[in-house]
Amino acid sequence: MWFKNLSVFRLTEAFDLTPEQLEQKLAAMVFQPCSSHQEFSFGWTAPVGRGSEQLVHSSNGFMMLCGKKEEKVLPTAVVNEMVQEKIIDTEAKEHRKLSKKERTAIKDELIFELLPKAFSFSRKTYAYIDPKGAWLIVDAASTKNAEDFLSNLRKCLGSLPAVPINTIDKPIVTMTQWLMDNNSPDDITIEDECELRAPEEAGGIIRCKRHDLSLPEIKNHLDSGKQVIKLAVNWADRIAFVIDEHLAVKRLRFLELVQDQMMDMEAEGEAEKFDADFSIMSLEIANLLPRLLELFGGESRV
């Protein structure tokens, strides 16, 4: 359950639903497996997992949700080959070239026939709402997955005014200055990974991993005009992560100070452990986010 990525949205209006009210709204779209001819299915499931039916897990005022998506797997290369064979056979029998519309119809019919036999896979996406801090935080590595989650949540709630976070200073400029000066804020330790990009369109990209970023070769790239678009940092020896130019947090790791808290928590059973982990994680992130905005000049509401 510990989040690995943070796609952060600012709630622009007060979130007034209680956990019970939110549960009722999500119940209209409980996860159901794909039917035989469905390509995919999305719905809400219990965040705690097996043994729980609650669609909202509430702790310290934070509300955890879990969306589940199941998709049928039809290999594109196989489908295309079968479609092509069907088109060739049909054209040979009818002694004519098929139109684009007829070719599309053949593909649609073939997919319809294959779907009941296709394998399926599913994935869960976790997120939680922080009404007091006015945050929606999605554990998603890509913007598209985070936006899809938000879109499905809006279907249940009717509306949910939320926008990606934005800062007054551009993260690229600030992170580049940190490396250029070899100097970062006291509570930020630059680690051994970065990604640099030349500012011109389709500019070259340099990726460094397990590399001392204070070495002259990195500064040479910066002197030539390249800018930092991703940077691995450690915040206050509590959380390590990679921050990118859009303020997305990836490869999140909770460090020893936080893990010690987790070890000190006594929990019996899966539900209690989930609750303890969620409590610690959400409070740590609640402390991190305001500082993250502050590092880049404060939040821009424009």
Is residue 70 domain-shared with residue 51, that is, in the same domain?
A: yes
Smallest CA-to-CA distance from 64 within 123, 111, 124 is with 124
- Does 272 map to a domain? yes
CA distances from 115 to 39, 77, 85, 107, 231 (A): 7, 15, 19, 12, 43
Is residue 131 domain-shared with residue 216, that is, in the same domain?
A: no
Domain count, the chain: 3
Whether the Cβ atoms of residue 28 and residue 156 lie closer than 8 Å to each other: yes
Whether the Cβ atoms of residue 107 and residue 84 lie closer than 8 Å to each other: no
Whether the Cβ atoms of residue 185 and residue 232 lie closer than 8 Å to each other: no
Is residue 14 domain-shared with residue 140, that is, in the same domain?
A: yes
Task: Give buried/exposed letters for 76-97 (b at 16+ CB in 10 A, else e).
Answer: eeeeeebbeebbeeeeeeeeee
Token pair recorded at residue 39: 């390509």
Spatial separation of the C-alpha atoms in residues 108 and 226, rounded to whole Å: 47
Which pTM value belongs to this model?
A: 0.88
Is residue 289 domain-shared with residue 234, that is, in the same domain?
A: yes
Is residue 150 domain-shared with residue 257, that is, in the same domain?
A: no
Is residue 104 domain-shared with residue 128, that is, in the same domain?
A: no
Q: What is the pLDDT of residue 166?
A: 96
Is residue 126 domain-shared with residue 226, that is, in the same domain?
A: no
- Does 1 map to a domain? no
- Does 302 map to a domain? no
Token pair recorded at residue 205: 């990209």
Task: Give buried/exposed letters for 257-287 (b at 16+ CB in 10 A, else e).
Answer: ebeebbeeeeeeeebebbbbbbbbbbebbbe
Is residue 106 domain-shared with residue 210, that is, in the same domain?
A: no
Long-range contact set of residues 81-90: C-beta below 8 Å, sequence gap at least 24:
82/110, 83/107, 83/110, 86/110
Query: pLDDT tens per residue, the chain (302 residues)?
Result: 799 999 999 999 999 999 999 999 999 999 999 999 899 999 999 999 877 889 999 999 999 999 999 999 888 898 899 999 999 999 999 999 999 999 999 999 998 888 888 889 999 999 999 999 999 999 999 999 999 999 999 999 999 999 999 999 999 999 999 999 999 999 999 999 999 999 887 789 999 999 999 999 999 999 999 999 999 999 999 999 999 999 999 999 999 999 888 887 777 778 888 999 999 999 999 999 999 999 999 999 77
Spatial separation of the C-alpha atoms in residues 164 and 166, rounded to whole Å: 6
- Does 230 map to a domain? yes
Smallest CA-to-CA distance from 211 within 201, 226, 227, 196 is with 196
Q: What is the pLDDT of residue 271?
A: 83
Is residue 224 domain-shared with residue 236, that is, in the same domain?
A: yes
Spatial separation of the C-alpha atoms in residues 93 and 269, rounded to whole Å: 65
- Does 97 map to a domain? yes
Is residue 230 domain-shared with residue 274, that is, in the same domain?
A: yes
Which domain does 61 fall in, by range? 7-74+117-164
- Does 300 map to a domain? no
Is residue 70 domain-shared with residue 81, that is, in the same domain?
A: no
Q: What is the pLDDT of residue 170?
A: 96
Spatial separation of the C-alpha atoms in residues 136 and 145, rounded to whole Å: 14
Task: Give buried/exposed letters for 231-256 (b at 16+ CB in 10 A, else e).
Answer: bbbbbeebbbbbbbbebbbbebebee
- 231: helix, coil or strand? strand
- Does 23 map to a domain? yes
Whether the Cβ atoms of residue 298 and residue 145 lie closer than 8 Å to each other: no
Helix, strand, coil: what percent of the chain each, to 5? 40, 30, 35
Spatial separation of the C-alpha atoms in residues 50 and 52, rounded to whole Å: 6
- Does 80 map to a domain? yes
